[in-house]
Structure formats: structure tokens, C-alpha cells
A and B are shown apart, each in its own frame.
Chain A
């Protein structure tokens, strides 16, 4: 073993770092077991995970999720120069267990060791080159916060971090932890927050995957991981940074003039980007007061006039002096005040109160060289708390000469082989010609070029894979899947066919959110033993890539991460190929009688599935497991049937009882008592997905608004404001759980969605000015307007700007049919248009048909636009698939595809006269 460079030792000691595992940690490999029969598996995964093939070409690529090395672009912005210095000299000194080898002791060009001076000079130069890329790291800005550190620890222990990394209490574990090393000297909270929110941007291998953290969660986690910085004495010396925005406080008082704010206790406070009467944390719009404080950047010396407009009173102070006094109870009123100011920061304070009636507050200014205008957000700042500063942090100056040498060393020492393979390829021996015993080779006792610190077991696994010519051995899908799952360390959380899953010593890193006992099913991530047979392939891929279909997140703290598209596709293919039964039976046709039977069986007047399951957000009165409204979108039909017949044989630890174990069901009056038909009926019912009607016995969704509109018996037509539509929106909600928003202002069908309908409180309670969106899910924006008169086929389709009126015609009204479904009526030129939305029950969620009837007193030409999207593909004569929906036209010919304004459109030229034109459009999404 070579002596550690002194600088790394001293740095590591400063951090009090434990010098942990000296061999690379690849926990997924450990999960494959230590039996000699698995040596090739382990060796192959190691070859891949250690990036051996970056230098040693393999004759054939392994079917494993890509593992590019971290991107070093901008690394200087993320990592301190001190940490870089230690890391280039010996990665294991600051990151014990890393898969990065130690390099730079032997010159690859000559095969001779560098002199100590050359070596140190190379390392020093590399630090300058790396730090110069985007760096040196800017000082930390985010203020330390003890409560956030605690919250971060809680997150770390619960959401899955500790499944791969060391548990928070640093106890020993049977499976090695992926090392973090002494992070507190490596980076700042700011940089770590950025990394945690999007780890694959710099670490595209996704071995640290994206856990879908909110900015606040990322901040808490970063603070926890860097908690040693909190007490760093360096932090107290750093000036608290100015951050954008003003510090605002919200008070609840009933006053007729500005109160003495120092006597009051604020209810809420926070940083806001601008001064107005509605900060985000305002709770009511009567009897409240606000105070904004911070710094105003004055651009240059001169006279400044400040204007406040407020309802009710306000006061503006600069450097403690009142400049604008607009106090008192009044309507919207503007006042002004003039003050001479010098360039630079000045204290600004704005006070405001609202008694009753309307409320508003705005501040504008005028100064040398600029007219009356709002104060730009950039000019307003406030002081933050003390930031967390990396341990051992020193200012770092980049030396240009060293930088040039470092850039050369970066390639000469082989860094680029892994970190920038597009630049360089090391000319090492290909895998199939490797001699494992070669002196100075990676597997030798004295590795010359790349020293991984391999354990003897790792060496023997690698040798097994190399000698067994593993690249030449055909593997089955199950083997491929096993190796992929090991590479991605899915086994840290999931068990599959006897491998992996929560170990006893990490069992407490998995928790149920709810205060009820759901057993291990509610706590541990599910088995993957037959996952390729259970889940629809698209669902599996979407789950891996997009984080969709996470049905357990409501009750399970552990998060399913998201992976890059290539990895998701590969793993999905492997799992489906390995698991899916041959020739699965076809799904039964959707049948309304079956839907009704299923509806009953799921409810408390049937098998009461609702005792343990939520149904599309409607709550189980008892123990709420997986929401079964997602079943159709997730599960394969045949797996569902097998599972319902004998749940225990498919999932041995499940709490799900088998209701249909025999051919005869206890409910003899449903589907003739046939178990098979009843299972099909439940499937039919569940296939309605987000538009599923609630079964008997469920509670309404949690936090249901008091004024939620629920079309149960018949459709509801409701005029309101709607977000993203207009203040003249007419909603139609249907019992089939598909709903539409018709915009009577721009005159178009604007939105379609499924599930819950609408919360009427936006314009029915309080100040009645809230623009709410749909309450349900699967919201689809319909490209409108539907009709236009085009001069020629090349003319762009008219667009509706915010607030623009009567683009799609003029609105005439609506008529309710005997079924109480509305027919919207509008007129474009001489053409009277009737549009009737009709919900159609459909597997995967109810779809929408729009029935159009057009009439004109004189022959008129106009055009219907069936859809507009960034992509459109014709499926058959009347059907097009867009990126957001599939559209089918019935009863009309002559549709044309065209590209207009960069969009793909399907348009249908129509000739209308008094005999009329009728056709319909079906939208599936």
C-alpha cells in the first residue's frame, strides 16, 4: 500500500472521517449471495459497476443498465477545492468504498511510476483544472436551520436513503452501505440541494436515483447530510447573505388605522418577491395587516418619488423615515412622497392594514432616469441567517498555468476514459485478452494504473467472469433481470425470487405513514417475483421512468425512485420477458351489466372490498390499502383473475382474503353466482379507472370541500370562473365521472377531466374571486376553438388570447335534454352550431364524444379542427393518435392533416346549408 498523500491525510483527519471500507462497495452484488454458483453474476455486475469496460473493451456489451461515470462539467461549482485535492490523490481517503479507482501513480504513457514531485504537481494541477470548471464553489447562501436538520434526518431514515446508505445511527449492517464519506467538507447545502433534486443531471448512471424530492425536502436532507457544518465556526464569520425578496409578516387584527406592529405577534412570516396585499400565507381577506421589511437597492444618487396605492391604509418608510403616509380606512387611493437617496442599499419598510371590503396594496417609484413603475424584484432583498459553510473551507485562487497542466493530466492520467469517454479511450487490453495475473494489472496485488482496492472475493468474482468469458455466454431474461436489479440495487428494497429485500437490520428503515397496522404489506416495498407478469409493460416502464402508478405512496414512506428512460425500458423488457405468461387470455369486452354487478360486489352490499381499499380517493372506512381504482391501468387481466381466485398463492404474506376460491360465489344473485363471471364483473367495474363511480360504504375523499359539486343522479351544469379557462366558464359534470368545461368567453370546449367534478367554493364563498381548476384527475386541454372560417387551407388556426372573446363564435346558450345533459349552442357567422358532450363508459376511464349539429340559412364553408398536437399519427381512416389523446371522427369525411405554426393538426373542411351537417368526435385520453 502506498502512503497516502499528506494533504489528504490532514484533510481527512480534519473531518474526523472514519476510514471505512477500502474496497469498492457494490451492495447489489452482495445481495446476489456468496455461493460460488453466482460468481459469474457477481463478476459481470462488478465488471460493469467498476467501469472496467471503459478501458478494457468487451467483445459484446452486457445487458445491464448503462453506468456512465459522473459528469465533471461544472464540478468546481459543486465541490470544494479541498475535497477535490484529497479525492484526486486518493478517492478512498474521502470516500471510503468508492468505485472510483486511485490513479495517477504510474504514467500510462511510459508505464513508469511518476516521481513524487511530478505526481503531486499533477494532482495539484488537476485540482486547479477541476475547480476552474464552473468554480471555485460559491459561498453557501442558505441559512442553517436546526429544525430542518431534524426533518432531514427523519426523511433520510424513512424515504429510502438508508436502504442503500448507512442508517442514521451509523450501526453496523449485514449488507454494506453505499459510502457517503465525510460530506461536510465536500460541498455546500446550496449545491447539494440542487444535486438531490436532480441527481441524474450530473450522475447519469442513476445509481443514486431521483427520489422526487420537493425543494423543501431536498433542503432538509442536504442540511442533515451536511449537519457537521452547522456548528462550523467559519459560518459565524461569514456575512449573512442578502437574499431576494422582502421579509413579510402577516397579522390578524381588526383596526381602522395602522397598528403598532412591534406590539403584535405575527401569525405567519416569510420571504416574498413583491409588495402586495395577498402574500401566499395570507389566511383571510378581512381584518388583517402586513409588514414588509428589507433592503432597497438605490441605483444612483438622486431624488426618488415613492407612490403607494392601498385599500385600506399603508405607510412606506425609507431608512426609518416616513416617506409616504397613506394611513386610514379608505378605498384604493394613491399617495406619494419624495426623498433624496444615495446609491446603495437602504432600509425599506411598508406597513399595511385591511379592515373590511376590498383590499389592495402596490408600491411604485420614480427616480433619476426612469418613469413611474413598480419596484423591480431584483432591487428588493432581505438578510438571511448564517449559512452553513463547508468544513475546512478556504478561498481558492485558480492558477492559470496549473490549470493548463491539469487539463493535460486529466486526459493523460485516464480520468477522461470514464468521465469523458467521448474524448479518450484508454488503450488497455480488451477483456477477452486480459491476463488476470499480469503484474501491475488492476487485479494484481500492486495495481499500477488503477487501484480499486479490490477485496479478494471481488477479485475472484471478476476473474470468474473474465475466465468464464461471460460476455460470450448466452443468458436468459431471468439472469439479465437479476443482474440489472443488482446493478441498480433494487434489491435494497425489493425481494425477487429469494434475492434481496429489507434485511433484518434495516427493517426499521421502512415505515407505514398511517397510524394503523397494515403489516409488512403496508411498510415494505412489494416483491418483484412476478412483477413482469403482474404489471402491464407500459405501467412498469412508467413506474420506473416517470414515477407514475405509485399506488403505495399514500401509506408507505419509502419512495420508489425514478430512472432514466433507457434504463427503464431495458429493465421493463427484461422483467416482462422473464415473467410474462405465454399467450395470456384476452380481456373480456366492456359490458354495462357487468360494470353494475362489479359496482355492487366491491361495495358493502357485496364483498365489501372497501373495508380494506380506497376507490379513486373515496376512503375505506377501516384500513385503507391500495386504491383499487388503479387496477385496470396497472394490472394484467389474467394476473388479476389468478390473484383474486387465490391471493395467498400469488402473494404469500398478503392480507387479502380469497372470496372466489370455489366456482360458486356466496352471492348467488349476481352473475348467476359464477365466481369467474363475478371476477370479470369486478374487473369491468374497476376498468373505469378515474371515472369509476363510488361503491357503497366508502367515505368521501379526505378534506372534501363543503361546496364540492357531485353529479350523482344527473348531470350538473354550473357557471363559474375556471383557472386556465375564463371568468365565463360553463361546467358540465356527468354521473359517468367525465366532466367538461365550456368557455363561453372564447367560445370553445376547453377542458375534459375524470373523477371528481368541481369545488364551487371559489366563487361561492368569501370574496368569491378564486379561479379554481378541475377537482378530478386526467385533465385534458382540448385545443380550441373547434370551428373557424379559413380563407385557404394554409391559414393558421385562430388562437384565443387570455381574455379574448368570441373567437370560436358567439355564445347563444344551452339546452338541457330529457337526460339533463346540456347541448351548447353557438353561432359562427351564419352557422348555428350545437355541441353535445356525451360520456361513453370505457375501459381505462370514461371517454368523451362530442356530437355536432351545424345548420346555416345559406350555404357556408367552414372548417372543423379535430385536434392539434406536437405529434399526430393516423391510426386508421378516421382515427389519429396525438401525444395527449386519440381522436376518432364518425360521420364526416375529407379530414386533412397539416402542419401549421409548428403544430400537427387534423382539419375537416365542411359545407353547411339548411339541411345541416351532423358528425361526432370521440376523444380518448
Chain B
């Protein structure tokens, strides 16, 4: 990706002068273990969870739910898959809660359990089926995810194309369900293809959405009650949803998203935009690093998978003026197939579940299961990007060479934003170069403050720093970060 970044900035001279011999690869720091692939037994992963007894549970898009024994063996061929349940309609999330396994099927939130102790589910209860389905292929449901108040969140994909059983309500919504009463509450609308939903360590709900019409760049967004996230499809249900949804107006195509709140006050800006093709194409599952260092140096950061690029990205977030925002950075690519789900194992390795079904993407296989294990070596990476009133504060995973880091010409930055449009996807709009005026390495040896001219709120700030070196001369493993600057901090 260094090469790509350089091509973008067209600075061949830099390549010639500073490319050092010392350069690790992603695999040196995070190794991939691949569970055996079988053509006969498709393992199209759509859901994963680590059970309280430490075993992994895997749900497939085709409706099987497996319990994996020996999932942590260094030889993945030693793992065995036991069919715990089958015939579930596209489970795209698994959650263990109070002795039940919860999953959002096509038509309902279901809970399942094994009563007779033979490790196979025998009881299946309908917790809630208040949302509607028309039978369109794209009415996927993602979740559930449990919030600290004991409620469960589900995101409901909107249909694309024919709706055999007529228009269905609640498509394009995030809903919250009380697992004890089955009562469903509408939470947010304007979702398009919300392939990942997750609860942060501090209890907030975030989701990923895939670019297309009315979601013109893929994004990570924070979900809070009453919001509109851009796609008008869900607004057909606003009457049923009541206030505050009833008063949400349809957006006008072609409005800059940063300005949309003037038109539609309920509109919520994303936390992070994933610029198309630079940072995947189809963000899906995600999880926060709660490994306390067992998975490397990224505690409290968020990993986001991509179903097109067969990659995992990294996101650091901060709350600025009441809005969660932050940067995305490449982390690991080269998985076997487009990734739908990632989940922690009990040993703090990252299970990576994949299927390309119905979609095309990178990778060499149609489905699969892999595991990412930290080798114990720390890569030289941009660790965190934070916004400051006049620029950005960056920290690194290793001490940096201050002689290089203090030269502003070693940083390239530009900013752009997106319109909300009815067209499919959208260009990086209103693009401008951002001049780095000063670069000041910190006292701790691992940070640098960038003062820039022309910060723009509501813009992605894309920054490249391939020339930076660690104190021992290593190149950055990934030298670009994409910070979605919704708010500029005052202090």
C-alpha cells in the first residue's frame, strides 16, 4: 500500500531516496491460521460468538450453527465442527445471554437452547417478529447486540429490487428489542446496508453501512435514538414509528452531508467514512480490542472487516464536541475471502469468518474461516490520530526518528467530503490540499503534532507519511490515515 500511496502523490523521487531495506510485512506481526476448506461442506460464515465456556459458535448464511471444539489448536485441522442447530434463516449474528443463544433470522429474533444436554439445540422461541419482510433477497438482519440496559439491537437491511410479498415496513431501521417482553422499539432510520452492528466498551451502539444510493460513502456511525442516517427508504415507516420520526423530512439529493442537518435536523453524520477502494468497499463485522494487550498494541481501538477487500481495518475514535469521530487505518489484508464477521476467541485471537455469496470480492475462495494471532512483535504503525484545534496529534506504536518526523514536508494531506445523493456511490467532493505548516515530535518520543492550514469540519482528512521512520529505522507498516473531521475541537 506504500506504493499506492506514492502513486497517489506522484513523488517518485521519494521512493528512490528513502526506501530502506528494513521492512516487515503484516504477516510478521499477525499470522493467519486457516481452517480446512471443504467444497462439500460449505462454511459460509455469517455469525460468530465465543461462548461462555470458551468454545466458538459459528453460524452460516445457509442456516447451520456449529460449535467448534479445539478451535484454538495451532493446527486448525484439529478443530471439529459439531452441528448445534440447522435450518435457521440466514443467521447474521449470535449472542449468548442468560442461557440462550439469540440470533436475528430473516423473519424474527429467535432464542435457542439445548435442553437435554446433547449439545444440540431443541428449543426455538420467537422473541420478536415485529419487523416485516417482503421476501426480497437483501432484507438481511444483523445482530442482536446487547447493551448494558439489557436490550438488544438489530439493524434491518433495506430491500433492493423486487418485493414478492409487497412493501415491508421497518426496512432500513435500527430497532431495539427487550428480550424479556419481545417489545420492539424503533431507534434510528436511514440505514441502507447495515452489515455490522456492535456495542462499544462504554455501551454505545455503532454500525457499519455499505456505500450505494443515499449512502454515498461507506461509513461507521454512532446510533442514538431518533436519528436519521441518510437513506430515505425507511421513512415509509415514519408514521408507524411515531415521534420524533414522524417529522423527519425526506432529504434532497445532492446536498453535502455536512450541511444536511440544516435541512433534516435528525440527520447524523458518520463517525468515520471509509473512502471507496482506499479503505475497503463493503464494511461488515467489527469488534473492539478488549484484549488488554494480548492482541498487540491496539487496546480500545476498533477492528472493522470488509467484505469486498477481504481485509480488516483499524479505527481509533474520540468524542469531540459530543460527536464520536476518528480515523481509519489499514491493518491486515489477504484473507481467503470477503469477510462478514470477526470475533474474539477466548485466547484473544481474532476469528475471521467469510463468504462471498451474492457478492464479488477479493480472495481466492468462496467462503472460509481463519484466525488471526498476534506474533508478539509490535509493528511500527500510526497508533492514534486525534483532532486538535489547529491540526492533528498522532501517536505511534514505537519511538519515531525525530529528525524525519519534524519535517512538515514529510506529511501530505488533503481533505474532501461527500454529498448525499440518490446515485449509487459518490465521488470525493470539494477536494483540497491541506498544507502541513509545522510538525512537532512530542517529548515521549512516540508522538507528533501537526499544525495545518485549512482544517475543514465535515471533511475526511487523508494523510500520508511514508517517509517517517521508527527510531531504529523501520518504515511504517501502513503510512496513511483517514480522519473524518466532523467537529474541530475548540481546545
Contact = CB atoms under 8 A, between A and B. Distances in A.
Contacts of B122: 815-817
A331 B110 CA distance: 32
B488 to A, nearest CB: 32
B320 interface: no
B242 interface: no
B310 interface: no
Interface of A: 277-278, 286, 311-312, 328-333, 356-360, 707, 716-721, 726-728, 730-731, 744-745, 760, 763-769, 771, 802-803, 811-818
Contacts of A359: 161
Given A330-B424, A813-B124, A813-B125, A726 B213 contact: no
Nearest to A815: B123
Contacts of A277: 161
B105 A771 contact: no
A717 B106 contact: no
Contact of B137 (A731, A769, A815, A817): A769
Given A277-B161, A333-B422, A719-B107, A768 B357 contact: yes
Nearest to B87: A718
Contact of B90 (A328, A333, A707, A768): A768
15 contacts: A328-B423, A330-B424, A331-B214, A719-B87, A726-B135, A727-B133, A727-B134, A728-B129, A763-B89, A767-B137, A769-B161, A802-B165, A802-B166, A813-B125, A816-B122
A330 B214 CA distance: 11
Report the interface size class on chain B: 35 or more
B63 interface: yes
Nearest to B122: A816
Given A328-B423, A728-B107, A816-B124, 4 more contacts: A332-B161, A730-B87, A769-B164, A771-B164
B126 A813 contact: yes
Interface in B81-108: 86-90, 105-108
B86 A718 contact: yes
A716 B62 contact: no
Contacts of A768: 90, 137, 357-358
B contacts with A: majority SS: loop
B61 interface: yes
A312 B213 CA distance: 11
Interface in B131-176: 133-138, 160-162, 164-166
B135 A727 contact: yes
A886 to B, nearest CB: 31
A256 B381 CA distance: 37
A317 to B, nearest CB: 22
B108 A728 contact: yes
A55 B106 CA distance: 72
B424 A312 contact: yes
B121 to A, nearest CB: 8
A311 B86 contact: no
B138 A331 contact: no
A812 B128 CA distance: 9
Contacts of B134: 727, 803
Contacts of B123: 813, 815-816
B116 interface: yes
A719 B161 contact: no
B135 A771 contact: yes
Interface string B334-362: 00000000000000000000000111100
B445 interface: no
B212 interface: yes
B326 to A, nearest CB: 28
Contacts of A771: 135, 164
A41 to B, nearest CB: 61
B107 A357 contact: no
Nearest to B211: A331
A814 B115 CA distance: 13
Interface string B203-215: 0000000001110
Contact of A358 (B86, B106, B138): B138
A330 B469 CA distance: 42
A814 B63 contact: no
A332 B163 CA distance: 14
4 A-B pairs closest in CB distance: A358-B160, A331-B213, A769-B137, A718-B87
B129 A769 contact: no
B161 A813 contact: no
A815 B425 CA distance: 45
Interface in B416-431: 422-425
A310 to B, nearest CB: 11
Contact of A812 (B61, B125, B133): B125
Given A311-B161, A333-B423, A727-B135, A716 B106 contact: no
Nearest to B360: A356
Contacts of A816: 121-124
Contact of A763 (B90, B108, B423): B90
Nearest to A802: B165
Contact of B86 (A716, A802, A811, A818): A716
B87 A717 contact: yes
Interface string B449-474: 00000000000000000000000000
B423 A330 contact: yes
Nearest to A330: B424
Contacts of A332: 160-161, 213
A719 B137 contact: no
Nearest to A765: B357
Nearest to A359: B161
Contacts of B136: 769
Contacts of A707: 62
Contacts of A802: 165-166
Contacts of A815: 122-124
A718 B63 contact: yes
Contacts of B107: 719, 727-728, 744-745
A732 to B, nearest CB: 9
A405 to B, nearest CB: 60
Contacts of B424: 311-312, 329-331, 333, 357
B216 to A, nearest CB: 10
Contacts of A760: 62-63
Contacts of B105: 719
A718 B425 CA distance: 36
B83 to A, nearest CB: 11
Contacts of B126: 744, 811-813
Contacts of A769: 135-137, 161-162, 164
A889 B424 CA distance: 58
Nearest to A817: B122
A331 B213 CA distance: 5
A333 B135 contact: no
B357 A716 contact: no
B213 A330 contact: yes
B62 A764 contact: yes
Nearest to A813: B125
Contacts of B62: 707, 760, 764
A765 B357 CA distance: 7
Interface centre among B61, B89, B166, B212 (most CB of A within 10 A): B89
A357 B129 CA distance: 27
A818 B63 CA distance: 21
Nearest to B112: A813
